[in-house]
A and B are shown apart, each in its own frame.
Chain A
Amino acid sequence: MSNHATQAAAPALAKSPTGIQGLDEITGGGLPRGRTTLICGGAGSGKTLLGVEFLVRGARDYGESGVFMAFEETAKELDENVRSLGFNLEALEEQQKLVIDHVRVEPAEIAEAGEYDLGALFIRLELAIDAIGAKRVVLDTLETLFGGFQDSGILRAELRRLFHWLKAKGVTAIITAERGDGTFTRQGLEEYVSDCVILLDHRVNDQVATRRLRVVKYRGTVHGTNEYPFLIDEEGIDVLPVTSLGLTHTASLERLPTGIPSLDQMLDGKGFFRGSTILISGTAGTGKSSTAAHFVDAACHRGEHSLYFAFEESPSQILRNMRSIGIDLEPHVKSGLLHFSAQRPTAYGLETHLATMHKLLRAHQPRIVVIDPITNLISSGSDTEVKSMLMRLVDHLKMEKVTSLFTSLNQGGSALESTDVGVSSLIDTWLLVRDIEHNGERNRGLYVLKSRGMAHSNQIREFQLTDRGIQLLPAYLGPEGVLTGSARVAQEARQRAAENQRLSELEEKRSAIARRRKVLEAQLAALRAEFEMEEQAIARLGLEEQQRAGESIRDRQEMARSRRSQATDLRRGNGDALGGTELESMESRGAE
């Protein structure tokens, strides 16, 4: 922190660490050593506790014993009151590390007659300090003296003397005081204490109380000047210094399946990173809790402890609803792997919620944490408070390598990306479930808005809740965006019809070709037959020609013979003999 650096450069002002987480960070190391710090605040703002914790932690962790001067409570009451916070004052007293002196001032018993001083108070204080060598002193609440003594002139002079005396004694002191009207303290004690003033506030906004702490003044040191929310849990005070966020956690490479295989596919095929922070946002009824349930179910099946903070539904309602979509979480609850914490967000202030969360985180040591939904916490604090609280929580979870899944409810009509309590910078993987209204239907679409450190899908997938859990269907893109629901079904049908048509056309073409082939083959066969016929005819003609040639030779021989025989009687009837032969050959040809 920068304050530390400043202090290291100029070590003029020694500091006494309070041991209170956050406060030492804001003040750059603690309260001014050897000086007096004024802590003011209204009734029940945690002044006494802050004082007690300063002493207890001093004795326990820093080897500095302390004196507690209680003007309001007896040692026994005080011990009982802080016992629930894990402080055992009695034990510390036995170990000579703490002295509690209850100063009882009963106005009804005291009458004043003449000049006096508070010498006995100094004597008591000195006795206590010297008895155990105390380095720390708490006076709670000094202003009670103003109720016990009438002469405020004497009292003021004595208080001034007391502060000087404390400083001279070299003890680091805390003076608590009631917040006054327009002033820090009712009796104006701030004019005596000028080194450090811390203001505690327990404000009620919209019927929800939140504790805040502010360092009003810290002479000689750089300090956080904001109002910091703080909480009182069973370990005492925990200030939440937003600025002290440590970004030192190591990033894991391990991947965790989301429990929805198709969602894993969208996330690089492997799912979320271990120790990452996941946000699922969307309008009402978009299946955010169901997605969370899938993740938890998968984690429990792997044998990992899970913690489910429900701010909207009771555990049994969640179990019932998840069973209806095929996720049975009950065995996990019975086996102790899954723990539910259901609270109305308005039941407590923000710091109490945070305290409860921290407590449960410590008790169950989960690997998976679900907060469903974080948006409901807004009602227990302002946006900035919720943001700082979540920042603190996310930081804590990351340090512990806990994978956390938050759901966030978007109000209808508002920008989807803007309403998430401004936590987007804290989120590693952000899934957005949105309604797609089209064709008179309301369907869900899921897409990965961002996912640090992995290649993720940019598609909008249709998100269906079935009795076997969430199904993510591939997107159909139509002219008006993603097609979902019946539009998608219609589109699918259209595609199928087109496919069928193509197929039947192909079939038709195939058979047409086959027919043509047959025709062609038939034609070919006919042609071949014709050809063969012609061939045969030609062959026959050749044969006939041969026969005829043979015959004509014979004829000629016969003719020659006959001619020779006729030669004798040629002079008588030559023509008759020739004509008769030609007629004979004509007749023999026709008979063949």
Chain B
Amino acid sequence: MNATVAVETGIWELRLYVAGQTAKCMAAVKNLNRFCEEHLAGKYHIEVIDLLENPRLARDHQIVAIPTLVRKLPEPLQKIIGDLSNTERMLVGFDLKPRSTSSAT
């Protein structure tokens, strides 16, 4: 599978957009860290951006929902929105797991 190849080739660049210290945002940070440790140990880099501090970035980076996780690398660009509590969906979203099996849920 292509995705697994991608995982092996390089570092994942991830960016998490949050807005302040809301429960959803806190949960997202926590869930992302856990997910990366479980699936991408040693091959990831996370940047957390608080849009309340840098509101201009919301426009520049085309962010609509909060929280939004953006995978800049590897290509293609992928966005996952939500508090990232649903690991299964994340795996599908990042093509770490075939879409067909999960789309039934």
Q: Which residues of A contact B (CB under 8 A)?
A: 101, 103-105, 109-121, 123-124, 126-128, 145, 148-149
Closest 6 CB pairs of A and B: A111-B93, A114-B82, A119-B66, A114-B83, A113-B89, A114-B85
Q: Is the CB of B83 within 8 A of A119?
A: no
User: For the complex, would chain A's binding face be called helix, strand, loop or mixed by DSSP majority?
Assistant: mixed
Instruction: Tell me the minimal C-beta distance from A431 to chain B in angstroms.
Output: 65
Please judge, given known A-B contacts A110-B81, A113-B80, A123-B19, whether A118 and B55 are in contact too, CB under 8 Å.
no
B7 beta carbon closer than 8 Å to chain A: no
Instruction: Tell me the minimal C-beta distance from B103 to chain A in angstroms.
Output: 11
Instruction: Tell me the minimal C-beta distance from A340 to chain B in angstroms.
Output: 52
Cβ of B89: which chain A residues have Cβ within 8 Å of it? 111-114
Query: Closest residue of chain B to A105, judged by CB?
Result: B64
Cβ of B62: which chain A residues have Cβ within 8 Å of it? 103-104
Q: Is the CB of A149 within 8 A of B65?
A: yes
Q: Is the CB of A116 within 8 A of B67?
A: yes
B63 beta carbon closer than 8 Å to chain A: yes
Select which of B59, B86, B87 is within 8 A of A101 by beta carbon: B59
Once bound together, how far apart are the Cα atoms of A148 and B27, in whole Å?
23
Within 8 A of A (CB), among B1-50: 17, 19, 24, 27-28, 31
Please judge, given known A-B contacts A117-B65, A119-B66, whether A124 and B83 are in contact too, CB under 8 Å.
no
Once bound together, how far apart are the Cα atoms of A117 and B59, in whole Å?
16
Q: Is the CB of A116 within 8 A of B82?
A: yes
Q: Is the CB of A117 within 8 A of B68?
A: no
Q: Is the CB of A111 within 8 A of B64?
A: no
Cβ of A113: which chain B residues have Cβ within 8 Å of it? 80-87, 89-90, 93
Query: Closest residue of chain B to A149, judged by CB?
Result: B65
Cβ of B73: which chain A residues have Cβ within 8 Å of it? none
Instruction: Tell me the minimal C-beta distance from A583 to chain B in angstroms.
Output: 179
Select which of A101, A120, A126, A127 is within 8 A of B65 by beta carbon: A120
Query: Closest residue of chain A to B61, judged by CB?
Result: A120
Q: Is the CB of B79 within 8 A of A118?
A: no
Q: Is the CB of A124 within 8 A of B55?
A: yes
Q: Is the CB of B24 within 8 A of A116?
A: yes
Contacts between chains A and B (CB distance < 8 A), count: 100
Q: A120-B58, A120-B68 are in contact. List 16 more A-B contacts (CB 8 A).
A: A101-B59, A104-B62, A109-B76, A109-B79, A111-B79, A111-B89, A111-B92, A112-B80, A113-B90, A114-B24, A115-B27, A115-B82, A115-B85, A116-B82, A123-B19, A128-B59
Once bound together, how far apart are the Cα atoms of A145 and B90, in whole Å?
21
Cβ of B85: which chain A residues have Cβ within 8 Å of it? 113-115
Question: What are 25 pairs between A and B in contact, CB < 8 Å?
Answer: A104-B62, A105-B64, A109-B77, A110-B79, A110-B81, A111-B79, A111-B81, A112-B82, A112-B89, A113-B83, A113-B86, A113-B93, A114-B27, A114-B31, A114-B85, A115-B24, A117-B65, A117-B66, A118-B65, A119-B66, A120-B17, A120-B58, A123-B52, A124-B64, A126-B55
Once bound together, how far apart are the Cα atoms of A128 and B86, in whole Å?
33
Select which of B17, B24, B78, B83 is within 8 A of A109 by beta carbon: B78
Centre residue among A104, A113, A120, A148 by max chain B CB count within 10 A: A113
Query: Closest residue of chain A to B91, judged by CB?
Result: A113
Cβ of A104: which chain B residues have Cβ within 8 Å of it? 62
Query: Closest residue of chain B to A119, judged by CB?
Result: B66
Q: Is the CB of A115 within 8 A of B59?
A: no
Cβ of A115: which chain B residues have Cβ within 8 Å of it? 24, 27, 82-83, 85
Instruction: Tell me the minimal C-beta distance from A292 to chain B in angstroms.
Output: 59
Instruction: Tell me the minimal C-beta distance from B76 to chain A in angstroms.
Output: 8
Cβ of B87: which chain A residues have Cβ within 8 Å of it? 113
Cβ of A114: which chain B residues have Cβ within 8 Å of it? 24, 27-28, 31, 82-86, 89
Once bound together, how far apart are the Cα atoms of A419 and B84, in whole Å?
71
Cβ of A128: which chain B residues have Cβ within 8 Å of it? 59
Query: Closest residue of chain B to A117, judged by CB?
Result: B66
Query: Closest residue of chain B to A71, judged by CB?
Result: B64
Cβ of B58: which chain A residues have Cβ within 8 Å of it? 120, 123-124, 127
Centre residue among B17, B28, B58, B84 by max chain A CB count within 10 A: B58
Centre residue among A103, A109, A114 by max chain B CB count within 10 A: A114
Cβ of B84: which chain A residues have Cβ within 8 Å of it? 113-114
